[in-house]
A and B are shown apart, each in its own frame.
Chain A
Amino acid sequence: MPLGPEALQAVWLTLQLATLTTLVLLLIATPLAWWLSQTQSWWKGPVGAFVTLPLVLPPSVLGFYLLVAMGPAGPLGQFTQAMGRGLLSFTFTGLVIGSVVFSMPFAVQPLQHAFESMGRRPMEVAATLRASPLDAFFTVALPQARTGLLTAAILSFAHTVGEFGVVLMIGGNIPGKTRVVSTQIYGHVEAMEYAQAHWLAGGMVLFSFVVLLCLALLKNRGSRVLP
């Protein structure tokens, strides 16, 4: 058996984290991307830039600020303590929040692009057919943007699986709770357990390649189907 129970636990946890992060991201990113694609507001620039920040900031910066924010003196920590929930650092929920922040641009950007390239026409037509804006959004805009939606989901999932720095800084490396595949590999390498590291690391390479390949195929298909 190349992968021990600890490694399998890390794989399972990583899949749970990535799935949950993707779901949360799609819920947040879809309205956000829609707003960014439609608005003429002065806020579009600053909000767009803010959402894109995690793309350029090193994970050490995000991890550091998340750790401080989640601590008892930080705003998030004070809020969760006031709610009687304790601190979020070193918890699975904390990791989900960190991952959502970290992968935000990977969900928002493909969606925003898809909404923008759709143009105003379909929504206007829907409006003349007396569809309410919300109705039109779900029956016209979302189906039109399905390739963007799928791209956002795949990228969010894959990027969360590939996350390392933020998890290392706010996770605390607890088996079954915050020890994901990337930190497990790091631990194996530091402990000089290269054989175990190879199995997991090789698996990551394979997984990432397959994801990117699927994405490329999807884009090909998408561009043929959509005008």
Chain B
Amino acid sequence: MATLLRPLAIAAAALFSLHAHADEVAVAVAANFTAPMQKIAAEFEKDTGHKATLSFGATGKFYAQIANGAPFGILLAADDTTPEKIAREGLGIGATRFTYAIGQLVLWSKQPGLVDAQGQVLKSGTFDKIAVADPKLAPYGAAAVEVMTQLGVLNTLRPKFVQGENIAQTHQFVATQNAQLGFVALSQVMADGRLVEGSVWAVPATLYSPLHQDAVLLNKGQGNAAAAALLQYLKGDKARAVIRGFGYEH
């Protein structure tokens, strides 16, 4: 009997010890980072036994929720100003801030051949609607406006704007072809280093200010082993390979 029970007891002890260390962290993730983060979180859970629950949305909305006591442990923002603001206002720990990805803006259409490799389509204006994330709310939207200003087409294109509340909704407008083209994040139209479908113009980085996306540990994540481990994991080679695979620099 005793010999039979011993392996069971060892297994139970092993299971218990694993769970004793396993922690859970709630992460607020910028909408443009949805796909890579799902992949990273799955690998993170496998590798460390910790669990990361992900919420995706607009960074501005997350800020409002965090300022009002939302239970997030980490914010992966779409910009670097929100984490800075969070640190300044004492909602997070400033020393933990770092750039986890640098975003790439693209002009994308689901229609092959509509968007050319130089973005000339913006000047020809052979389309009805162009989707842009709300520049007031989304850094990718602000970058898109910068690009159109640089090219001198902002005022002619403005009547054709449809605005997504965040970059995910902007992508949805183009993906359902309700808008023929739109400014989205490269990460949304790329998988495993390749364009998924349609036509795309990778906007040269000289046309907009760099999209530094910063992470910050929030007050509610302090002392949470999973939160600390995830921040470390994001800096590791494995996560960085995933991030690059989705078209971010870094």
Contact = CB atoms under 8 A, between A and B. Distances in A.
Contact of A168 (B136, B137, B165): B165
Nearest to B138: A190
Interface residues of A, number: 23
A189 B161 contact: no
Interface string A63-93: 0000110111100010000000011011000
Contact of B178 (A70, A174, A187, A192): A70
Contacts of A57: none
A174 B165 CA distance: 11
A172 B61 CA distance: 18
Interface string B48-63: 0000000000101101
Nearest to A168: B165
Interface in A45-76: 67-68, 70-73
Nearest to B166: A190
Nearest to B180: A72
A71 B163 contact: no
Interface in B30-68: 58, 60-61, 63-64
Nearest to A73: B177
B179 interface: yes
A67 B176 contact: yes
Interface string A82-119: 00001101100000000000000000000000000000
A129 interface: no
Interface of B: 58, 60-61, 63-64, 128-129, 131, 134, 136-137, 161-165, 169, 172-173, 176-179
Given A67-B172, A173-B134, A190-B60, 7 more contacts: A67-B176, A72-B178, A87-B128, A87-B129, A172-B131, A189-B64, A190-B58
